[in-house]
Amino acid sequence: MEIQCDESHDSAVMAILKTTEEVNQLKDVDTILDKILHESRRLANADAGSIFLVEDGALTFSYVQNDTLCKGSGANAALYQNFKVPISECSIVGYAALTKQTVVIDDAYELEATLPYSFNKSFDEKSGYRTTSMLTIPMVSQGSRLVGVMQLINARNEQGKAIPFDLEAQIHISLFGNNASVAIERGIMNRELILRMMQMAELRDPSETGAHVQRVGAYCAEIYGTWAQRRGHTAKQIKRERDNLRLAAMLHDVGKVGISDSILKKPGRLNDEEYDTMKWHTVYGARLFRNQTSDLDRMSMEIALNHHEKWAGGGYPGAIRDIWASDAALGQSLKGESIPLAARICAVADVFDALTSPRSYKDPFPDEKTLGILEKDAGTHFDPELVEIFMEIFDVIKAIRAKYKESGH
Ligand SMILES: [Fe+2]
Ligand SMILES: [Fe+2]
């Protein structure tokens, strides 16, 4: 295929390079996928799209956007669907992954019978959506490694009518997708590294599982998104903060590695003295972020230190003059907005998840009972607006819980 090196192509390539640079500044894999899909859809004015990532030899559904069915960047349960597609000729995404070839379809309902793959109508039938044109591209990173497949749906003309994807869009999106694959791999690695750090903590405290921290991270990101949207923050600001929060919240209890086994592994409840010792996991966690080189470090420290503070006071560790001093002592507890927002959000998410999960001394509480506790403690333990948001997005919370079940790490 011949590419004309005219001015418009050059400027499109420049724009792609600039966007790739922006993608490279993001750290969490979900924020990276969101940005890649958004920018790819913009290049072709596509109504919808999804990304599948290669995991254990199959394609795992990983991200979706659909302007017709779900406008805006609010909390979205569809993001947390859990399904896999085999890498095989039978499906369109599977075929693109298997052959590492772009698949261009002008009308999904008019596929030639001789093609090995067929279009799966079930999504359209369930949602009432009408898929017409499709562009399915393999995303290949350096060393020709297949990272995933991106599928864009319904390119639109200026009147909003679905039209086929033109050659220019095919070339530009495939270029962008391959460049951005490197960022996806890095995003996956970041999350894996954090999960491994938490596995160390889990060896010590079996209640702090990989699934628990994945859920808490995702709950926090969604609560924050709605909080920031209420305040009219720009989509760009929201994405940047969410990106850090998702990962930082996963590390909330990393300081438990500094607490002795006799306390962490004690069956049943702790006595007062043991509980006082346990409180230091907040300070030990914060101390891990001494050399702050990024917003992620700053936020991780805020959360580790303050996730047990309470809105009306009475939490711990309180204001500590110098957390690095060898004679540091717990201080006067913080209150209200003097507790960093990220830590206030994490408090709601962590308590909800602890209550709805089994522990050595209790069965999981049913949702109704747990939500009752959150509501009762809004204004005392929790920032009341954050509890209100939690209730508002509860269908998304349930979708996250279904995605990150126990033993899923
Ligand atoms: Fe904690
Ligand atoms: Fe926790």
336, amino acid identity? G
- Using CA atoms, how far residue 99 sits from 63, 84, 133, 136, 204, in Å, is 22, 18, 20, 12, 45
Report the separation in Å between the CA atom of 58 and the middle of ligand 2, taken as the mean of its atom positions: 31
The b/e string for 66-95 (b: 16+ C-beta within 10 A; e otherwise) is beeebeebebbbbbbeeeebebeeebbbbb
Full set of structural domains in the chain with CATH: 7-186 (3.30.450.40), 205-403 (1.10.3210.10)
Encode the chain (409 residues) as per-residue pLDDT tens digits: 555 556 677 788 888 888 888 888 888 999 999 999 999 999 999 999 999 999 999 999 999 999 888 766 566 888 888 899 999 999 999 999 999 999 999 999 999 999 999 999 999 999 899 999 999 999 999 888 999 999 999 999 999 999 999 999 999 999 999 999 999 999 999 989 988 888 887 777 777 788 999 999 999 999 999 999 999 999 889 999 999 999 999 999 999 989 998 898 888 889 999 999 999 999 999 999 988 888 999 999 999 999 999 999 999 999 998 999 988 999 999 999 999 999 999 999 999 999 999 877 788 999 999 999 999 999 999 999 999 999 999 999 999 999 998 763 3
CA pseudo-torsion sign 236, 215, 350, 281: negative
Report the separation in Å between the CA atom of 351 and the middle of ligand 2, taken as the mean of its atom positions: 7
Angle between helices 210-230 and 167-204 (to 10 degrees): 120
- Nearest ligand to the CA of 306 is 1
What is the distance between the alpha carbons of residues 115 and 112, in angstroms, rounded to a whole number?
6
Report the separation in Å between the CA atom of 385 and the middle of ligand 2, taken as the mean of its atom positions: 21
- Nearest ligand to the CA of 214 is 2
Q: What is the pLDDT of residue 280?
A: 96
Q: How many CB atoms lie within 10 A of CB 271?
A: 10
What's the predicted TM-score (pTM) here?
A: 0.88
**Which residues belong to the active site?**
256
